[in-house]
Amino acid sequence: MAKRKKGPLAGSIVKRTIQTFFALVTSLVTTYLGFCTGCLVAYLFVLPPTTGVQTQRRVESWFEEAAYSKQHKGVPRAVISEHLAHAVVAAEDTKFYTHTGIDWEAIQQAIEDNRRRGHTWRGGSTITQQLVKNLFQTTHSSYIRKAFEVPLTYLAEWILPKERILTLYLNVIEWDRGVYGAEAAAQHHYGIPASRLTRTQAAALAACIPNPRARKPQNMGRYRNIILTRMRQMGW
């Protein structure tokens, strides 16, 4: 029985389908990046009312037994202790003021450390990378998320001054289950406003950032002291 040959019509349909698919993907990517760009421009002047990670946590809470209550109050940088800003930079991104968004050397070092240990021990993300992940993405790791993170990071560095990036970061990151931003963190963990955080308290809060839902400031003595040492070495 003779094989049936594909005619030009079948080939044309396949070609159109592929073209339509790539056009759709391109449109979605362009729309997403355009939306993020517009938000970054707006965040020059206002603080984000919510973020991608905060939305993720809200959705996750629907499937959890424990009650979920969001604590988040955006505040101007002037009422956030400079000790906290210094502690966060010392803990999370010592090259924050000199890199252009991504510290490729730190990423390579993290990859080598993780390979040597045989598991993921640390990342090499800068504060800017962490900010765009918090604003526009989720905590779920994937190659697609990382692919978007790179252009978003450079966009953030291009649109926002360094101090604005740090202010936004301090106002949106997670510091316990349902606790977001410096003001809510200071109230939640110490019962004081963010403006009154001491060096030691600030370093303890910064020590919680890598795993904020599991770590508590009062249990972070060793890492807190490391951060305090880094702060002194950086002139703070």
Domains for the chain: give ranges and CATH numbers.
11-64+72-233 (1.10.3810.10)
Query: For position 162, what pLDDT does the model report?
Result: 98
Query: For position 125, what pLDDT does the model report?
Result: 93
Sequence-ordered list of residues with C-beta below 8 angstroms from that of 141, at least 6 positions apart, any chain: none
Residue 101 CA to residue 166 CA, distance in Å, equals: 12
Buried-state track 59-88, b at ≥16 Cβ within 10 A, e below 16? eebeeeeeeeeebbebbebeebbebbbbbb
Query: For position 89, what pLDDT does the model report?
Result: 98
Residue 8 pLDDT exceeds 80: no
Q: Residue 60, Cα to own-chain centre: how many angstroms?
A: 18
Residue 231 pLDDT exceeds 90: yes
Mean pLDDT value across residues 161-182: 98
Query: For position 194, what pLDDT does the model report?
Result: 98
Neighbours of 37 (CB within 10 A): 16
Band of pLDDT at residue 22, cut at 50, 70 and 90: confident
Length of the chain: 236
Residue 69 pLDDT exceeds 60: yes
β-bridge partners, 179? 71, 176
Residue with the bigger pLDDT between 226 and 115: it is 226
Q: Is the pTM of this model over 0.85?
A: yes
Residue with the bigger pLDDT between 111 and 226: it is 226
Q: What is the mean pLDDT of the chain?
A: 91
Query: For position 206, what pLDDT does the model report?
Result: 98
Band of pLDDT at residue 6, cut at 50, 70 and 90: low
Among 37-41, 61-65, 96-100, 101-105, which stretch is predicted with the lowest mean pLDDT?
Answer: 101-105
Q: What percent of the chain has pLDDT over 70?
A: 90
Q: Which long-range contacts (CB under 8 A, 24 or more apart) does 149-155 make?
A: 150/102, 151/33, 152/33, 152/36, 153/101, 153/102, 153/126, 153/128, 153/129, 154/100, 154/101, 154/102, 155/33, 155/36, 155/37, 155/40
Mean pLDDT value across residues 125-153: 94
Query: For position 169, what pLDDT does the model report?
Result: 98
